Every structure is written in structure tokens, then in C-alpha cells.
Amino acid sequence: MRRAGYVAGVTDTRHEYDALAGLYVPIGAAVVLLVALLVVAFAWRYRARPADDGARRPSRVHSAPRTEGLWVLVLACVAALLLWRTYTVEGRTDHAASGRGLRVLVTASKWHWRFDYPRLRIVQRGTDDTPPTLVVPARRTIDFTLRSLDVIHAFWIPDRRFKRDATPGFVSSFSLVFPRTGFWRYGGECSEYCGLRHTWMKFHVDVLSPAAFARWTRTRQGGAA
Amino acid sequence: MTAVGAAGVRPRPRRGLLGTLASTDHKALGAGLFTTAFAFFLAAGVLALLMRFELARPRLQLMTLHGYDELFTLHGSTMFYLFATPIALASGVYLVPLQIGAARLRWARLALAGWWMVIAGGLIMWMGFLTAQGAADVGWYSYWPLSDMPSSPGIGTDYWIVGVLLAASAAILIAACVLATIVTLRAPGMTMLRLPVFTWTMVVTCLMVLTAFPALVVAMGLLLAQRQLGGVFSGAAGAFDYQHLFWFFGHPVVYVVFFPFVGAIAEAIAIFSGRRWFGYRPFVLSLLLFAALSMSVWGHHMFTTSAVENRYFSLTSTALLVPAGIEYFDALATMWRGRIRFATPLLFALGFLVLFVIGGTTGIFVGSPPLDYHVTDSYFIVAHFHYTLFGGSVMGLFAAVYLWWPKVTGTLLSERLGRWHFWLTMVGMNVTFFPLFFLGWEGMPRRVADYPKASGWETLNALSSAGSAVLLLSLLVFVLNVVRSLRRRVPAGPDPWGGQTLEWATSSPPPPENFPKPLPPVRSFAPLQDLREAAS
């Protein structure tokens, strides 16, 4: 049985992100609106009027320990709710590489991306003017291994709502799934400032159906030989 | 020193620029440091305008990629090290002795050295623009190994490090002076729990400077040694160690440049609501809790490194909403059943409340690792922290300027120009920074000079750039107001607003010895309000 948001046993990071943001954003928006509303309402309701000089004295109540204590309790409950949801989702998105998916080695260096498919013996490279394309099959676990050859870069696919730093001397592993087929022009980016051409350190993302991916694999292997 | 000598003869203070630069009177020193910092604010603002001009349309129009890198590095560095931190401390240098009924600042010569170091550090940092390879281009956080010689050989980066070292050391010196003043020079009757609200925010600010800034001094010293000699940082551990050192300073600093202005808006809200600040003790506790937590949240800048315990830092970061919630409660409760007068300082204080809560709630949002994985290092973060630093700190700074200008200069600012300044800032601020939330969410990374034409980001970028022009206009109105006030010199009198704390009990500007006449009795944190309430 397939759970919602799960494809091939690995969580769909975008689905998880949207669900968690779906909790945070409404609460945040409500807080902002409430504050704005209270500021405007109090400013209007308690504004000084020439007529009330002397007649109306500002309140001399300067503390309300019980109300404020209750308010702290409410705040703590909100924090606890947010943390509980965050921990649950983080447990899923930080799922270690399953080891059974398609392995892709990502190498970042100034200012290029390189994608190695070790089992398929395919390498995707770009040039200074044309970024490389990350080609992946849809609905299959992709086990990424990320490293950098020089400075810190970061691997970001906004459509997947996911990013990881590539730190030189450190290998980082994570798994992603791509549920929909399609081509994302500049769908991948370096998001950690890495020097001169950081601005243009991007890659395309091409998600193929499993059959199309198999065809692409054969063509690349034939063409590369 | 302007303090009365043993023989009761006060040496005549020297006049002119040299006199100001050598004065240990905390008012001259505070005003001088404040003016220096504000000049750096305008300079860094010009850099921001150039960046927004470049980003208004795709492709490069105005500058090279390298030029853009220098701009965002110097913009962020100038704003944090040369503007925000010094101006926060300058407010304390000027106001704290007056608020606690002291005649002077403790160790004033140390603070004076701090002012010189800020000036020297700023000039050295900006001198990078004159070198062949340009100014530093490594970001205000200067991550290793990008900031090492092989990637950034320019001497502009070394100038930058020396500049930051000077400014950071200056902050430590000045914070020590302000804290020592509060601890040792309080007027009779002024216990720690009768300190005015602004002075309490300076206590926690100084505590954070003294605990966090040494980490920055160490980071900069090690980075300079690594660049010149090598052998300090190596491998992934070196990269992570540098980040830990930097962010151990780098998160508390955002509260250092924020709390004094929380204090300022608290004073403004209390004065213009005609009642004292609500919930003084829980407020003081919340400040201390905030400062303590601020030392334990730095790892949330490293969620995507895979090298920190994300859940721990998510816990401490999310917990910040509790003390922040207390402060909002107290602000609104102070307005509740008050008698509210809409003077310019209050407008900026209310603007602060509305804008900062946007920065605060989005801060809780990015305190959640799975959400941060998407938006970190994107324009979402740029929007978030500009709502805290511009919507919060800068709005609070202007509340402070409009509130205390009559005290410092003895003259009034125009209320009409003040209202124009406020509304232009509100419009410009939101038009500039709100679109950036969407740009980041849609995938625009930070620190890029260009973006693909097909990205669909043109409209929002153009809108943001248009907003920055409105912000420029708002600042021009402010400058006009200042110049006009200094020329017309409409006398303000000692207490134009109905102030509640001791600085309003002396003349404007205060004489060198601050309080020539006996102080009113201090029986609470709002001694002048006590007198007023007893009389009515």
C-alpha cells in the first residue's frame, strides 16, 4: 500500500514541505494580522481627543501576572505544536539513502556541476556556457552522494523543496524522488555563494518516464562508447 | 575629562572637530559615534541601491559579476559592523548615563578609543575599493575556504578582516563601558529593578556583545593567520569550525542591533500612551531569557551542512517565540486604556510592531529544518531578515531619533516632515522587501547579480527595485527634516513629550555635568511619571 506523499518508499520532499508550511504559514499570517489589527484598534480606540482632557485618565494598571502567565502558556503550546510537527517531518526528509535506488554522484566545483551514474557508466557535464542536465527516472528513489572539490557550494532543486551543502572534504548523502515527468530549465542551482560565477552555476533537471529513461541510458551508453 | 576637578575648577572643553574627536563627555562621544555610524548607514544604503538597480532587470547592465560581489559584501559588512552595532552602542553611550542619573560614562577614554577604532576600521575596510583587485568579495560572513588565498587573493579581503577586527574590538570596549556605567554609577535609589526600560535593553545588549563578539575577534584573527601563514583551518572540519565560530557571534549580533531599539519603542509607546510600560518584571525576565537563548541558536544557520544537531537548534530557535510574545503582550497592554498621542516617534514605534512581527514569524518558519532546507540562502531569507533589521531595528532607530532629537539638540523636528518620512518608509519598505519572500520561495538564490530571463522573476524584481527608490526618497525627507531643524532651531525645552525617565528632568541639550540641579526621587523605573501621577 502506498502512503500519500511516499513514492518508492522514500518521502516526497515537496509534499512534506507543503504540508508543514501549511501549518506554519496560516499560524504566522494569523499572528501578523492579529498584531496589526490590535495595534490599529488600540491606537484608534484609545486616541487622545481634545475633549477628554482631564475627564479621561490613562489606566494605572501596570501588570497582570495571571493573564500574562496564561499567555506564556499559550505561547509554549504553540511552540510545542510547531516543534512536534517539525520533528515528525524532519525524521522523514532526513531519511538516509536507501541504498537500493539509482545512485547519482554529484560533484560541485567552481563553477560547474557534474553528475556521475556509476552503475550506468554515464557522466553528465556542462560547459562554461551550457549547464549540464540532471536526468532522472520518475517515481524511483534517487540516492545522491554530494561532494565538492574546492569551496562550499549548495545543491538546490527548488521544485523538490530541498537543498544540501557541498562542503569540501565531506560527503553528504540523501535520497529524493521526482514524481512528475518534465523538463525544468535551470531547475537546479548553487545556493551557497562560491565566488565569481556563482550567479551562473546552475543545471537543468529532466525527469523522464522509466521507459524513456531506459532509452536515454542506452543512447548515452552507445554514444559515449 | 569634563568632570569637576579636585579644586572644583572644570577645564574648558576644547571646541571644533579636534575637540569633539578628543572629548570624553559621553554626550559628545555618543553623538559622534552615532553620526559616524549613520554615515556608514547611508554609504551601505547606496550600495544596496546599486544592487537593486542591477537586479531590476535580467542580465548585467551596470557592473561586472565581481563588482556585484564587492557590493553585497560591503553592504552587509558595513550595515552590521560599522552601522548597526556602533549605532546601537552609541545610543547607550549617550542615553544610559542620563537615564540612570549619572554625570559621566565609566572608562570614557576606552569608549573614545572604540569610536576611533570604528572610524579606522571602516576606512580600512572601504579602502579595498581603491586596490587593484577591489574590495572584499567574500560575503559579510566570509566562509572558509572561499575566503582563503587561493580563492580570494585580493588584499581587499585582508583590509576587510582588519576592519572587522577593529570594529568588533571597538564594540567590546564600548559595551564594557556602558555595562560598567550601569553597574557602578546609578543614582541613589535606582536599583537594578528600577532601571528604565531602555537601559535594561542596553544591559542585555552589552552582555551579548561581551559574550559573542570575542568569537568574531577570534574568527577574524584565525582567518587572517590562515591567509597569511596557513595551517589554521583544513578540510571539512576547518570549514565547519569556521562556521561555528562565526555564527556563535553571528546570531547574537542580530539581537545586539535589535534590543536597544526595542527599548526605544518601549519608551515611545509608554510616553505617547500616557502610561508607564506594562509588565516591567516579566519584560526584564523575557529580555534575559532572550539573551540567554540567543547564545544557543547559532546552529540554525547550518541546518543544511549535515554537521549540526538540527533538532536541538530548532528547539532553541522556536523557543524564542515565547520571550518575543511577552514583549508584544507588554507593548499592546501599554497602549490598552492609554491616552494615545500620534507624534512621529510613536508612528515609527507602531510601524516597528507591525513590520517586525513579519520578520519574527518568518524567523520561526526558517527555524524549522525541513522548511529551511528549501528557503535558506534564497531571497526568502533576504526578505525575512530585512523585516527584522529594517522593519525592526531601523524603524526603532527612527523612533529613537525622533524621540530623543529634542533632548540631544535642544531643537524640534518637523512633525509634518516626520509623518511624510514615516509613511514613505512604510510604503518603500514593504514594496522593496515583501516581493522577495515570493522570489525566494520560487527559487531565486541569494548573492546573484543576474537571473534567467525565462524564470518569471522580472516583475517582482522590478517591483522591489522601485520600492528601494521610495526608500531613498524617505531618507531624503529625513535628511531635509534634520537640516531644517538645525537651521531653524525651534527650542524644545527640557521635556517636550511628557517623558518618564531622568533624562527629561534636565535641560536640552544637557549641560556637561548632566544634572546641575538635585535629581527627582527615584522610586520606580519611571520617576517622572511617578511625580505626574502623584500630582493628578
- Structure confidence by residue, pLDDT tens digits, A147-195: 999 999 999 999 999 999 999 999 999 999 999 999 999 999 999 999 9
- Structure confidence by residue, pLDDT tens digits, B55-97: 999 999 999 999 999 999 999 999 999 999 999 999 999 999 9
Question: What mean pLDDT comes out for the span A90-108?
Answer: 84
Q: Does domain B28-535 have CATH number 1.20.210.10?
A: yes
* Mean of the per-residue pLDDT values of chain B: 96
Give residue B12's pLDDT.
66
For the cut 70, the answer to whether the pLDDT of residue B220 exceeds it is yes
User: Any idea which architecture A102-224 has in CATH?
Assistant: Sandwich (2.60)
**C-beta atoms of B374 and A161 within 8 A:** yes
Distance CA(B421)–CA(B482), nearest Å, equals 11
Give residue A1's pLDDT.
38
Give residue A225's pLDDT.
43
B396 in Cβ contact with B338 (< 8 Å): no
β-strand partners of A173: A145
Distance CA(B382)–CA(B359), nearest Å, equals 10
- Structure confidence by residue, pLDDT tens digits, A101-141: 999 999 999 999 999 999 999 999 998 889 999 999 999 99
Give residue A9's pLDDT.
61
Q: DSSP string covering A129-147, please? A: SS--EEEEETTS-EEEEEE
Domain ranges of chain B: 28-535
Question: What mean pLDDT comes out for the span B512-527?
Answer: 96
* Closest partner CB to A151 (pick from B145, B322, B369): B145
* Closest partner CB to B319 (pick from A79, A89, A165): A79
Q: What is the pTM of this model?
A: 0.95
Q: What is the largest CA-CA distance in chain A?
A: 94
Strand ranges for A71-140 from DSSP E: 102-109, 112-117, 122-125, 133-137
A75: Cβ–Cβ under 8 A, 6 or more apart, which residues? Answer: B321, B322, B325, B326
Give residue A98's pLDDT.
64
- Structure confidence by residue, pLDDT tens digits, A131-157: 999 999 999 999 999 999 999 999 999
- Structure confidence by residue, pLDDT tens digits, B249-268: 999 999 999 999 999 999 99
Chain B positions in Cβ-Cβ contact with residue A78 (cut-off 8 Å): 321
For the cut 60, the answer to whether the pLDDT of residue B6 exceeds it is no
Domain ranges of chain A: 6-48+65-93, 102-224
| Closest CA–CA distance from residue B333 to any residue of chain A (Å) | 8
Q: Mutate which of B276, B373, B375 to test chain A, going by most A C-beta atoms within 10 A?
A: B373
**Chain A residue with Cα closest to B277:** A62
**C-beta atoms of B275 and A20 within 8 A:** no
Question: Where does the pLDDT of residue B4 fall: very low under 50, low under 70, confident under 90, or very high at 90 and above?
Answer: very low
- Phi, psi for residue A159 in degrees, rounded to 5: -65, -30
- Structure confidence by residue, pLDDT tens digits, B447-492: 999 999 888 999 999 999 999 999 999 999 999 999 999 999 999 9
For the cut 80, the answer to whether the pLDDT of residue B15 exceeds it is no
Chain B positions in Cβ-Cβ contact with residue A75 (cut-off 8 Å): 321-322, 325-326
**C-beta atoms of B280 and A62 within 8 A:** yes
* Mean of the per-residue pLDDT values of chain A: 92
